[in-house]
Amino acid sequence: MSTTFQLDTATSRATPTPQPRKRLTVPAIRDHKQAGVTKEPLVMLTAYTARQAQLLDAHCDMLLVGDSLGQVIYGLPSTLSVTMEMMIAHGAAVVRGSYRALVIVDMPFGSYEASPEQAFASASRIMAETGCAAVKLEGGQAMAETIAFLSGRGIPVMAHVGLTPQAVNMLGGYGARGRSQREHEKIIADGQAVANAGAFAVVAEGVVEPIAVAMTASLEIPVIGIGASAQCDGQVLVTEDMLGMFERVPRFVKRYENLAQVVSDAAATYAAEVRARAFPTPDHTYQPKD
């Protein structure tokens, strides 16, 4: 399913013009797992901007406009103050910058928990204003009725169980979940509940590995792991984490680059050249035509 396309270098910085190409659909992602088995794991990364989406699109089955943008883009202390407007602005940018991956937009805290009707109003607005194909929301059994309500009305839902960052104040932190038998059983029941309710896939975040393995084996829908297990049906990471944009690296993140160093070094060279009047050179300036 993944990575047979090349980077589209034809798109311009100012006006990205995606090639017409058929996007992966929600049924294609759900049916990627056949009779409980996934041959090739699904690839998902977060994306928040059009250019980032252009660069990631060729390599990913799904792009997630995660509410982690609160911390990553806006420097907020948690995802709790992320707004609908933020999610819609970044969601629309990612849809504009991609043409192959399925784009999923996170529902922000407070936009869906009160009732299925509230969730429908928020999710339909996100889909109408961004052009995304699906939304993601956090919660298991407590959200089952809402997931059934949305799915039955044309809104595909990716669920998110285990470590659910919007519940950080209930959980008491961002540590791994499922170490006690009680919590283990609860997370497994959450996964089953969202699958029964009609979610097309579920993110399992920060759970001890046996939970991720059991959930992947028992659910018909794809289980996308983050801090979970290589046996999941797919994996997701926050792109800036895997690119090494931050010094703090959680255990479950693998850094594939050290972009923080690359950016800092480039800025230092630029600053030195500006101060020495070594930039711009004649190559970078315009002269009158004779």
Q: How far is the CB of 67 from ligand KIV (least distance, A)?
A: 5
**Among 18, 41, 66, 139, which residue interacts with ligand KIV (rule: CB under 6 A)?**
66
Among 122, 87, 119, residue whose Cα is nearest residue 106: 87
Window 25-64: residues binding ligand KIV (CB under 6 A): 46, 64
Separation of alpha carbons 63 and 95, rounded Å = 9
Cβ atoms of residues 111 and 91 within 8 Å: no
- Which CB, 57 or 241, lies closer to ligand KIV? 241
Least distance in angstroms from the C-beta of 163 to ligand KIV:
9
DSSP 270: H
Binding letters toward ligand KIV, positions 73-112, x by CB under 6 A: ---------------------------------x------
Active site residue 205: yes
Instruction: Point out which residues pair with 65 in neighbouring strands.
Output: 105
| Cβ closest to ligand KIV, residue 135 vs residue 238 | 238
Alpha helices in 167-244 (DSSP H): 168-171, 181-197, 209-218, 239-242
Which residues inside 194-233 make contact with ligand KIV, applying CB under 6 A? 203, 205, 226
d(CA 198, CA 158): 9
Cβ-proximal residues to 272 (8 Å cutoff; 6+ apart), any chain: 278
C-alpha torsion sign, points 71, 77, 82, 86:
negative
Q: Answer yes or no whether residue 133 interacts with ligand KIV by CB under 6 A.
A: no
Per DSSP, the three-state class of 225 is: strand
Q: How far is the CB of 186 from ligand KIV (least distance, A)?
A: 19
- Distance of closest approach, residue 123 Cβ to ligand KIV, in angstroms: 16
Catalytic pick among 183, 205, 220, 247: 205
Active-site residues, by number, are 205
Binding site for ligand KIV (CB under 6 A): 46, 64, 66-68, 106, 160, 203, 205, 226, 236, 238
